[in-house]
Structure 1
Amino acid sequence: MAYDEDLANRVRELVGREPGVTERRMFGGLAMMLRGNMSVVVRGAGGLMVRVDPADTEAALAEPGAGATVMRGWPMRGWVTVDPAACERDADLARWVDRGVRSARALPAK
Structure 2
Amino acid sequence: MAYNEFLADRVSQFLVEKSVPFETKKMMGGLLFKVDDKMLVGVNKDEIMARINPDIYEASLLKEGCNKMNFTGRPMKGFVFLSDEAIDLDENLHYWLQLALDFNPFAKASKKRKTTKK
| Matched residue, 2:20 | 18
Contact residue 34 and residue 105 of structure 1 kept, 8 A? no
CA distance in 2 between partners of 1:49 and 1:30 (Å): 10
DSSP 3-state at the match of 1:71: coil
Q: Once the two structures are aligned, what percentage of the paired residues are identical? A: 31
Say yes or no: does 1:28 pair with 2:8.
no
Greater strand share, structure number = 1
Are the equivalent residues in 2 in contact too, given 1:40–1:101 (CA < 8 A)? no
For the 8 Å contact 1:52–1:79, the answer to whether it is kept is yes
Structure 2: runs of 5+ lacking an equivalent: 111-118
The CA deviation string for residues 44-94 of structure 1, in whole angstroms up to 9 with x for no partner, is 3x2101111112110111111100000211101110110123211010011
Distance (Å, rounded) in 1 between the aligned partners of 2:8 and 2:92: 15
Q: Specify the SS of the correspondent of 1:31.
A: strand
Q: Give the drift of 1:101.
A: 1.4
Which has the higher Rg, Structure 1 or Structure 2?
A: 2
User: Do the aligned partners of 1:52 and 1:100 also contact (CA within 8 Å) in 2?
Assistant: yes
Q: Equivalent residue for 2:60?
A: 60
Q: 1:109: Cα distance to partner?
A: 6.0
1:8-56 Cα deviation digits (max 9, x unpaired): 000001112213x111112321111011111111113x21011111121
Aligned residues: 108
> What is the TM-score when the length of structure 1 is the normalising length?
0.89
The answer (yes or no) to whether the contact 2:64–2:85 under 8 Å persists in 1 is no
Q: In the alignment, residue 102 of structure 1 is paired with which amino acid?
A: D
| DSSP-derived class of the 1:9 partner | helix
Q: 1:18 to 1:26 in 2, by over 3 A?
A: same
